[in-house]
Amino acid sequence: MKMSALRLLWVPVLLCVTHAWLCHGACVEVDSDMEAVKGKGFKLGCISCKMRGEVPASATVDWWFRAKGESEFAHIYSYADMTSYIMDDRFDDRLAWNGSKKTDDVQDGSIFILNVTFNDTGTYRCFFDRTLVFPNYEYRTNATKFININVVGKATRGMASIFSEIMMYVSIIGLQLWLVVEMVYCYRKIAAAGEEALRESEAAYLAITSESKDNCAGVAVAE
């Protein structure tokens, strides 16, 4: 009894939590894709959530790039005060802001590469410099993320994606079969129960009639 009451208490808690995640724009750190296709656009995802969502803050975002085979990172992009700067010729006119819009309180620092070339293969580093503003003081934090990008000629699909699609069909078909089996089983059970009920009522009828006969006999004997 106590257990089930406790479990019931969990339901609204879980609902609230999922609701908050889904509906109130709460920040979730999602990993970036890693495979870009030559000639297409590519979103370099980088999200850094505030540890305390309710505290006002402002942040700047910087991106660095180390091409495959190079040893040093080069500063390629900077975003501060809602303004972006491309710092490297290789990316002239090819980087666009894809992160948080119309706010200094940046939590999504993603950028978009236009017309990807094979030369864009390498490691990208995203750096958040954030200042949390408390009533009496300011607190500065930073976060760094690395993303390895591989540029391919044509879009390929990862094994994981293919596998999960196959699993999806398997589970859909499996569930349908299970449903059919269950329906047949239930139908039979109901039909059998119906027959049983018929037989029972018949038996009851016979019992009553024979009982009344017995009663009659009893009455007859008494008389």
Ligand X SMILES: *[C@@H]1O[C@H](CO)[C@@H](O)[C@H](O)[C@H]1NC(C)=O
Q: Which residues bind ligand X (CB under 6 A)?
A: 93-94, 96, 98, 112, 114-115, 117, 119, 142
Angle at 110 between CA 106 and CA 114, to 5 degrees: 140
For ligand X, give the closer residue by CB, 114 or 216.
114
CB of 112 to ligand X, least distance (A): 4
CB of 115 to ligand X, least distance (A): 4
CA atoms within 13 A on the CB side of 182: 6
For ligand X, give the closer residue by CB, 117 or 148.
117
8-state DSSP, 61: E
CB of 157 to ligand X, least distance (A): 21
Contact 6, 111 (CB under 8 A): no
Q: Spell out the SS3 assignment of 161-182.
A: HHHHHHHHHHHHHHHHHHHHHH
For ligand X, give the closer residue by CB, 78 or 98.
98
Q: Which two tokens stand for residue 116?
A: 């990807």
- The whole-angstrom separation of Cα 49 and Cα 143 is 10
For ligand X, give the closer residue by CB, 56 or 88.
88
Give whole-number Cα distances, 204 to 20, 149, 166, 195, 207, in Å: 60, 79, 56, 14, 5
CB of 173 to ligand X, least distance (A): 35
Exposed e or buried b for every residue in 72-109, given b needs 16+ CB within 10 A? ebeebbebeeeebebeeeebeebbebbbbeeeeebbbb
For ligand X, give the closer residue by CB, 106 or 210.
106
CB of 170 to ligand X, least distance (A): 32
For ligand X, give the closer residue by CB, 104 or 125.
125
CB of 189 to ligand X, least distance (A): 53
- The whole-angstrom separation of Cα 178 and Cα 181 is 5
